[in-house]
């Protein structure tokens, strides 16, 4: 299982590894370079996996601005429903679209708490 692509994102590396024709996107902390990291998604082509790596770093930047953190394969924020990374990547959201989604989630959740 060789590394096909690596991208630095904050204190982590986003890595694309190929294994038997499947390209696995994962994230690992730089302080543990020997670990295999957390798998985020799988792709059938190297090109799609590399695009997803860049998209994940952009979306992760936005999610962090909103107070989310990565836990396993989910973006999580206290008192909010988790957002599965693989699903978010599959939607191919732009940064603006993710901001709109996170704003909408916050509004819906605030309304729910107010009831």
Cα angle: 99, vertex 46, 65; to 5 degrees = 20
- The helix (H) or strand (E) run that includes residue 81 is none
Q: How confident is the model at residue 115 (pLDDT cuts 50, 70, 90)?
A: very low
Q: What is the pLDDT of residue 103?
A: 93
**pLDDT higher than 90, residue 95:** yes
| Cβ–Cβ < 8 Å for 100, 93 | no
pLDDT mean over 24-45: 86
Nearest-angstrom CA–CA distance, 49 and 42: 7
Q: What is the pLDDT of residue 98?
A: 95
Q: How confident is the model at residue 17 (pLDDT cuts 50, 70, 90)?
A: very high
**pLDDT higher than 90, residue 46:** yes
Q: Would you kindly state where each structural domain of the chain is located, as residue ranges? A: 2-114
Cβ partners under 8 Å of residue 49, min gap 6: 4, 5, 16, 23, 24, 25, 41, 43
């Amino acid at each position: 299982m060789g590394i096909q692509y690596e991208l630095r994102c904050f204190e982590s590396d986003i890595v694309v590894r190929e294994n038997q024709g499947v390209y696995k996107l994962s994230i690992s902390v730089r302080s543990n370079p020997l670990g295999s990291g957390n798998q985020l998604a799988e792709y059938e082509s190297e090109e799609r996996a590399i695009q997803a790596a860049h998209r994940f770093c952009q979306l992760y930047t936005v999610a962090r601005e909103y107070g989310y953190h990565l836990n396993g394969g989910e973006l999580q924020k206290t008192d909010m429903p988790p957002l599965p990374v693989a699903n978010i990547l599959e939607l191919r959201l732009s940064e603006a679209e993710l901001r709109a989604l996170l704003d909408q989630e916050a509004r819906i959740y605030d309304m729910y708490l107010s009831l």
